Every structure is written in structure tokens, then in C-alpha cells.
Amino acid sequence: MITRRQSLMMAGAGLVAGCATMPPRPEGPSLNALAARSGRRFGSAVGAGRPGTLTASFDNRAYRRLLEWECGVLVHENELKWYALRPDASTFTYEPADRIASFAAERGMGLRGHTLIWHHPQWFPAWTSSHDYGARPAAEVERLVVEHIDAIVDRYGMIDSWDVINEAVDADTGELRVTPFSERMGGPEAVMDLAFRRTRERAPMAQLVYNDYMSWEAGHEAHQNGVLRLLEGFRARGVPVDALGVQSHIGSGNSDNSVGFDTARETNWRRFLDEVVGMGYDLVITEFDVHDKNLPADFAQRDAAVAELGRRYLDLMLSYPQMGDILCWGLSDSHTWLQGRWYREDGLPKRPTPYDAQYRAKPLRQAIADALIAAPPRRSA
Ligand code: 9MR
């Protein structure tokens, strides 16, 4: 449900059907062309949600133009999640996901897969709790997971990089989350190992990713440690995981009580990344945006601070040769998920993406371009 406050925010952000006319394309190469110079791709999430909402960027012609200009790879924002694809145990709702996949295929773009299992109880559809798992619940979970992976991976055979598991580590404690599946299968590891192994069988050429939102801000240490333990476990058990998806929602910190803008702890973050690549994992930036909740109202000041932090972050990430593709979680302020929660004190719309709500390039777009131009070549782990 969209609240009155959200609808006002959306109007403020320019998310009103038909109000967008397309400003000229930025001069010079696209972000994807710049990424290609060092062997990477640039891309974005796009959503085919209910028309007129923040999740419906694909509905917007101007937004689709931005994708065509800038991207070499797309990812569904929500359409492959269980709650979107599977209203009940036997129905699959493919149409919104198909539209995005066709758009990418027709333009020769790549596609990432988000996500085969969002390992977080909040995002499991309600029916997974009330489902009749029968006398052998573990076997029934296994059947559901295998059926899901086979159906989705086969249907979207063009997907070359899968977020097989998303957000399994509790950010506060570092422990693995318990889900309706894990509690019936004898633990989270059993579900995750099965998912990775099955995906490898069905998509042997695809990059298999564990994706999470541990970040470089202060307060993320428990989350980072939990992710390291999980990645060590995968290696110890011989589970086929190729890369860590670093979501990269940086900036103000995503919570109601966020106070600062930049609390980056670079030395600690490098130590974390060193351990990850030391275990032989590649890195992917899967959901980049720069939250500006606590920055001043003034657009120029805000945009400059967002661009400066974004550049510093991307430079650090791109200093790792194992760092691969870079995807933003939305290209325009008209449709970012951050407009829908953790509102600014001044009530103004946020500016966390490379293009403003009128589809004009902002300093963050230039910062991404500059970071890509300066990037050393990619070398896979
Ligand atoms: O941007 C997504 C938003 O539209 C959805 O309402 C929300 C819940 O499904 O998920 C958002 O995307 C999340 C992504 O799937 C996983 N990492 C965090 C993203 C932002 O919450």
C-alpha cells in the first residue's frame, strides 16, 4: 500500500506519469563503454512493479532510455523474488520478469539474476510458513527449492550471474538467519549449499554470487565477520560460490536513526575485502547508491557530497582486480527505493542515484565515469 506521505514524496521526486521529457544524452562514451575499457560491465536494477509506484521504473519511457544509454547489464529489482514470482506453492507469475528479460535480450544487454533465495524470513511469502510439508519436511523443502531453481534458471538462461543467496547473515549479530525453509531442513547451510550446487548444475557457465549489505560504515563489523565465516564455510564444504556481491548502499546508513553521512572505515573495509579475495572470491557491486538522508537541503552541496563519497568508494573497490561488474540500484532519483523510507527531516526527496528525477545527469554520474576511466584492469580470481 502507498501511504499519502509516500505519494507526496513520489510527486516531489517527479514520479508522475508523463511529466518527464528527456534531456540530452551526456556527451562522450556511456558508463558501460567506460567500464568495458577495464573488462567490466556497468548496469542497473529496473522494476516492473505496479504502474505509478517507485517499483515501476520500467514503465517509464525516459527511464528506459537511460538504461539504453548507459547499461550493458540489467537486474530485476523485485520480479524474481519468491513473493513476486510465486503467489502460492504451484503458481509462477513470470510476465513482469519476462518483460525486463526481453528488453535486455533485444538490446544485447546482459542480465543478472536477483535472487534465487532471499534468505530472510521477512521476504518469504506467507504460504511458505503455512504450507503442508508432510511427514518429511526436509525433503519437501528440497523439492520446492530444486523445482524453483530449475524453473527460473532454465527460463532465464541468458542470466550470466546469479545472486543465488541474498542476505543470509543477520546484520546485528553476524549469525545466520532462520527461515521457514532452514528450520525444516536442518539449518541455513543445508538450504544454501543445496541452492548453490543445484544452480551450478543448471547454469554451469554462470557466475554464482552470495549477495549482502555489509558495508564500510562504522557498525558493520559483526555483519562483516558473519559474512567471512559464511564464505569460509562455503570453501570448507566445497560449495560452488564464485563471488561476493557487495550491495554498496553507502552514505547515510539505512536506518531511522542514522545520524551521519560518511562514517567509512577504509582500513577495516580493506581488511575485510582482502580476506574475501584471499579466499579466492571475486567481487561484484550489485546495488550501488549513495544515501543523502542527512546532507543539507541545497542540491548543489548535496550532489557534490554524494559524488565525492561515491568516487572514493568506487576507487577503493576498483583497486581490487577481482572487482567485476558495477550495478546501481536504480539510475534516476525518480524511482529509487530510498524515496519510500527513512524520510529526510526537511521532507525533501532524496538524490542518491546518478540522474535526477528529471533524468538529467548529476555529479555522481561524472564520478562513476571518472572512477571507471581510472580503473586498473580486471583480473578474475
Ligand atoms: O528496491 C527493492 C524494493 O523495491 C522492495 O520493496 C524491497 C523489498 O522487496 O527490496 C528492495 O531491494 C532490495 C534488494 O532486493 C536486496 N538488497 C536491499 C535492496 C533495498 O532494500
pTM above 0.85, yes or no: yes
- 235-263 average pLDDT score: 90
Backbone angles phi, psi at 194, to 5 degrees: -60, -45
Rounded Cα gap, residues 374 and 361, in angstroms: 20
Of ligand 1's atoms, which has the minimum distance to the CA of residue 81? 9
Model pLDDT, residue 24: 87
Give the single-character DSSP code of 362: -
Model pLDDT, residue 88: 96
Residue 8 banded pLDDT, cuts 50, 70, 90 = very low
Pocket of ligand 1 (CB under 6 A): 55, 77-78, 81, 123, 166, 213, 247, 287, 337
Model pLDDT, residue 18: 44
Lowest mean pLDDT among 65-69, 253-257, 291-295: 253-257
Q: Whose CA is nearest to atom 3 of ligand 1?
A: 337
Which pairing describes strands 243-246 and 159-166: parallel, antiparallel, or unpaired?
unpaired
pLDDT surpassing 90 at residue 4: no
User: Domain map of the chain by residue range?
Assistant: 31-374
Model pLDDT, residue 152: 98
Tell which one of 15, 100, 212, 329 to mutate to probe ligand 1, the residue whose CB is within 8 A of the most ligand atoms: 329
Q: Measuring CA to CA, which residue among 70, 68, 84 is closest to residue 118?
A: 84
CB of 165 closer than 8 Å to CB of 120 = no
Long-range contacts of 11-14 (CB under 8 A, 24+ apart): 12/348, 12/349, 13/333, 13/334, 13/339, 13/349, 13/350, 13/357, 14/333, 14/334, 14/349, 14/356, 14/357, 14/358
Fold classified for 31-374: TIM Barrel (3.20.20)
pLDDT surpassing 90 at residue 2: no
pLDDT surpassing 70 at residue 131: yes
pLDDT surpassing 90 at residue 222: yes
Instruction: Give me the chain's average pLDDT, please.
Output: 94
What digits encode the pLDDT tens for the residues 156-168?
A: 999 999 999 999 9
Find the Cα–Cα–Cα–Cα dihedral 149, 152, 153, 155, rounded to 10°.
150
Lowest mean pLDDT among 2-6, 124-128, 284-288: 2-6
Find residue 264's DSSP bridge partners: 217
Model pLDDT, residue 5: 53
Tell which one of 44, 54, 78, 250 to mutate to probe ligand 1, the residue whose CB is within 8 A of the most ligand atoms: 78
Residue 321 banded pLDDT, cuts 50, 70, 90 = very high
Residue 9 banded pLDDT, cuts 50, 70, 90 = low
The secondary structure element, H or E, covering residue 159 is strand 159-166
What digits encode the pLDDT tens for the residues 273-318?
A: 999 999 999 999 999 999 999 999 999 999 999 999 999 999 999 9
Residue 7 banded pLDDT, cuts 50, 70, 90 = very low
Of ligand 1's atoms, which has the minimum distance to the CA of residue 115? 15
Of ligand 1's atoms, which has the minimum distance to the CA of residue 336? 1
Tell which one of 57, 77, 341 to mutate to probe ligand 1, the residue whose CB is within 8 A of the most ligand atoms: 77
What are the start-end ranges of the H helices in the chain? 4-12, 31-36, 61-70, 82-85, 95-106, 127-130, 137-155, 182-185, 188-202, 221-236, 266-278, 299-318, 363-374
Of ligand 1's atoms, which has the minimum distance to the CA of residue 114? 15
CB of 351 closer than 8 Å to CB of 14 = no
Rounded Cα gap, residues 360 and 340, in angstroms: 21
